[in-house]
């Protein structure tokens, strides 16, 4: 079984008899390599999302009435809400001011969405939707760096991806 993070890799290598210096070097190299690979996967997915007819930034918040819901249930609901999208990528985050859980997503659709249906389908709080009218690579890159950075922090659960759907062509 592969180690999940730097410390796990380090301890695994030391337990196999490698020197501390070697274990630090290998564990660091492996974690950096994993981050680079993840960034490349994110960039590829974003390009596909931006190729969709309609692209959106979405933030899913959790109302005070639903704060006691299990995170897994909320994630399942977000996945179901985004099930009609062509492709999406999302991550969980905690607010700076109050530390409240919320989710960011970059989503692509083949047709316009009904904001009200998205809100009703989610049902655990507000859904802030920002359509992407002009593709601004710098803004998208900045947003994705935030997604990736938050996903790599220990306090988040990482990135969530949709399954790639085949688009219907006429």
Any idea what DSSP says for residue 82? T
The matching CATH number, chosen from 3.40.50.10490, 3.40.50.10210, 3.90.1150.10, 3.30.70.1910, for 46-161 is 3.30.70.1910
Task: Give me the tens of pLDDT residue by residue for the chain, a chain 170 residues long.
Answer: 443 566 777 777 778 887 877 767 676 666 666 667 777 777 778 778 888 889 998 999 999 999 999 999 999 999 999 998 989 988 888 877 878 889 989 899 989 999 999 999 999 999 999 998 766 666 666 666 666 565 555 555 566 777 665 443 43
| Whole-angstrom distance, CA of residue 89 vs CA of residue 163 | 10
CB atoms within 10 A of CB 17: 8
Determine contact, residues 147/61, Cβ cutoff 8 Å.
no
CA separation, residue 166 to residues 47, 52, 79, 90, 169 (Å): 16, 12, 18, 20, 9
């Amino acid at each position: 079984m592969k180690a999940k993070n730097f410390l796990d890799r380090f301890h695994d290598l030391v337990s196999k008899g490698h020197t501390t210096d070697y274990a630090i070097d290998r564990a660091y190299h492996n974690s950096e390599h994993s981050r680079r690979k993840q960034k490349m996967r994110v960039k590829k997915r974003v390009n596909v999302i931006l190729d969709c007819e309609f692209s959106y930034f979405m933030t899913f918040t959790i109302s005070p009435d639903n704060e006691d819901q299990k995170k897994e249930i909320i994630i399942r609901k977000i996945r179901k809400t985004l099930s009609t999208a062509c492709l999406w990528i999302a991550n969980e985050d905690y607010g700076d001011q109050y530390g409240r859980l919320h989710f960011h997503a970059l989503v692509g659709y083949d047709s316009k969405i009904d904001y009200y249906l998205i809100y009703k389908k989610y049902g655990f709080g507000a859904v802030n939707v920002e359509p992407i009218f002009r593709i601004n690579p710098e803004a998208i890159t900045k947003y994705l760096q935030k997604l990736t950075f938050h996903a790599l922090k220990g306090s988040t659960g990482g990135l969530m991806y949709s399954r790639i759907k085949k688009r219907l062509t006429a």
